[in-house]
Structure 1
Amino acid sequence: MKIAIAGGTGFVGKGLTNYFLENEHEVVILTRSEEKTSSHPRLSYVTWLKESAQPELALSGVDVVINLAGTSINSGRWTDEVKESILKSRVNTTKELLRIMKVMEPKPSTFINASAIGIYQTSEDATYREDSLNHGDDFLATTVSTWENLASEAESLGIRTVYTRFGIILGKDEGALPAIAMPYKLFAGGTVGTGRQWLSWIHWKDVVRAIDHCMNNTDIKGPVNLVSPHPLRMKEFGKTVADALNRPHWIPAPSFALKALLGEKSILVLEGQHVLPTVLQHTNFTFAYPTLKDALEDIYEE
């Protein structure tokens, strides 16, 4: 297959690119750089989001478009300026991809648009599957909802559209794990907030494999929760990280302190959702790292 990736140089994008190349696919990465080149025979870079750029001219024959582009939600404290960047970066890149796909002939068969489980309401008691309509009204939930609604316009072009709702993605040097693990490495880790909030997490390698699964399974469309089948409450999550690092779990981080430090962004660690990967399980996807113990053993052996 020929696959175009927007946001291909980020955490998930790099993993996807390597995976696709290893499996003999051709990968085109949309980039803002006008001089980026590749020595790999099946990897190329195409400039986009520049005034004179016409990326559609270089995307002939693309079978799948994957959109991972957007300012990271971890980009500093959520000031009004940062929140505007988080939303606008997603809206603008998705609009440009829609423009590109409208003029492409033939059109790609599949559009996979990144999303997040942050669309669901935070809750200590509810369980969310893809058909759950209890969406939140906080900044992250409204951003995700806006993003998915815009991406859905690809369906009117006859393109199968998938919204991959990412949970907390775990990797050794990128994603959420380094920040979670740091206090434990300093012998200062402990329960964050009440400890009852849910963390619906997933190993980065399972993210890559799940996206590939969605790409190749033509029965899949709409939202897909990319999370492990075994979410954990924060207290248990922290204890498992402590065990993996052979460190104590003892110094708590109270909610009021984190709210003072992080402001509105504290919702990412103080509140959560119990989310299940129902679509993946019903389409026979097999997790390589279904439990946190499995995931951490692999990550810290890398």
Structure 2
Amino acid sequence: MKQVLLTGGTGLIGTRLTELLLERGYAVAYLTRGSKSEASIDPKVKQYRWDVSKNELDEKALAESQYLIHLAGAGIAEGRWTDERKQEIIDSRTKTIGLIARKLRETGHRFESFVSASGISYYGADTGAEWLSEQYTPGIDYLADVVVQWEAAADELAALGIRTSKLRTGIVLDTKGGALKSFLIPVKLGIGSPLGSGKQYISWIHTDDLCRMYIEALENPSWTGAYNAVAPHPVTNEELVRTTAEVLHKPYWAPKVPDWVLKPLFGEMAVVVLGGNYVLNQRIRLETDFQYLYPELKPALVSILSKS
């Protein structure tokens, strides 16, 4: 039984990914800080302690694992972007994997493969309707810089000869967290409305498809480098809200929430909801045999919302 070591395993993606890995017969282990929030971890999951601020990591976590998945990272939209918060967002993604890279260099251990989370904001927070494949250059705003540094940290493991994949993840649809949860309340109340112009594109993906991509990238030796982890068909913010209301049999409230209302509420972080990207799953489509369970929005929402 081979073991997969996860950073950020208790988050939205990590929790579902753990379930699927266990179903496939893998042993799963987490790097944890021993916080109270981690007390509910599945008893089948092994825990190893680490403390990035003290440069501490239980080396048995590395020695006893054949695969690594890096999901750790402070939530982009969890709090206003003060200078301190913006640095925390970067450090939580880069210093964590940097510590693992240093320990690997010291011990000489090598994983069979490594998959790192990444984000489609690599291309910039708001790229309008321009179609973006993996060949496009990074953007120049704050969120793009976060991802550039994130991927550079992941590449430290690739430099050690470990097959490395990076999944530039779109908007993950799940009622337990993320963008869908944030606007589900007004939709359920019958006042769901587009944000800003409503025309900004949302490149989305169902949680299960994303987790299956992680497993495919882990197992398949042909996967290497960066992939846009999105469903085949981006939609506008307006389409997403309207389809959600349709699936829930709720009225669709046509008036849009204007920019001038959102910007004072979110500050610089308003770009997260007002910006958009039309991202193509080009490498997934052309270079892999990956089959989506939910390539279309409405069936994906039916699957997700039927469980809420």
Query: How high is the TM-score relative to the length of structure 2?
Result: 0.92
CA contact (8 A) 2:69 2:114 kept: yes
Deviation, structure 1 residue 104: 4.1
- Match runs of 1:95-110 below 5 Å: 95-110=98-113
Shift of 1:105: 4.3
Following superposition, the deviation at residue 52 of structure 1 comes to 8.2
Shift of 1:58: 3.6
1:183 maps to a residue whose letter is: P
In structure 2, what residue type is equivalent to 1:68? L
Q: In structure 2, what is the Cα distance between the partners aligned to 1:203 and 1:209?
A: 10
Separation in 2, partners of 1:53, 1:262: 35
User: Gaps spanning 5+ residues in structure 2: where?
Assistant: none
**Which among 132, 135, 145 is matched to residue 128 of structure 1?**
132
Quick one: percent identity of the two aligned structures?
A: 36
Q: What CA distance in whole angstroms lies between the structure 1 residues aligned with 2:157 and 2:75?
A: 23
Which residue of structure 2 lines up, in the alignment, with residue 13 of structure 1?
14
Alignment partner of 1:265 is 2:269: yes
- 1:1-302 equivalent positions in 2, closer than 5 A: 1-33=2-34, 40-41=43-44, 43-49=45-51, 51=54, 53-121=56-124, 122-133=126-137, 135-250=138-253, 251-282=255-286, 283-302=288-307
Please, which runs of 5 or more residues in structure 1 have no aligned partner?
none
The secondary structure found in structure 2 opposite 1:212 is helix
> In the alignment, is the contact (CA less than 8 A) between 2:5 and 2:28 conserved in 1?
yes
**SS at 2:4's partner residue?**
strand
2:73 and 2:29 mapped to 1: Cα distance?
A: 18
CA contact (8 A) 1:55 1:100 kept: no
1:202 Cα offset (Å): 0.6
| Conservation of the 8 A alpha-carbon contact between 2:31 and 2:61 | no
The letter of the residue matching 1:118 is S
Contact 2:133/2:282 (8 A) holds in 1: yes
Alpha-carbon distance in 2 for matches of 1:179, 1:95: 32
3-state SS of 2:68 partner: strand
In 2, distance between residues paired with 1:94 and 1:174?
24
Cα deviation digits, residues 87-122 of structure 1 (max 9, x gap): 121121021121232234441021211110011132
Displacement of 1:199 in angstroms is 0.2
Does the residue aligned with 2:227 lie in a helix, a strand or coil?
A: strand
Query: 1:52/1:199 Cα in 2 relative to 1: closer, same or farther (>3 Å)?
Result: closer
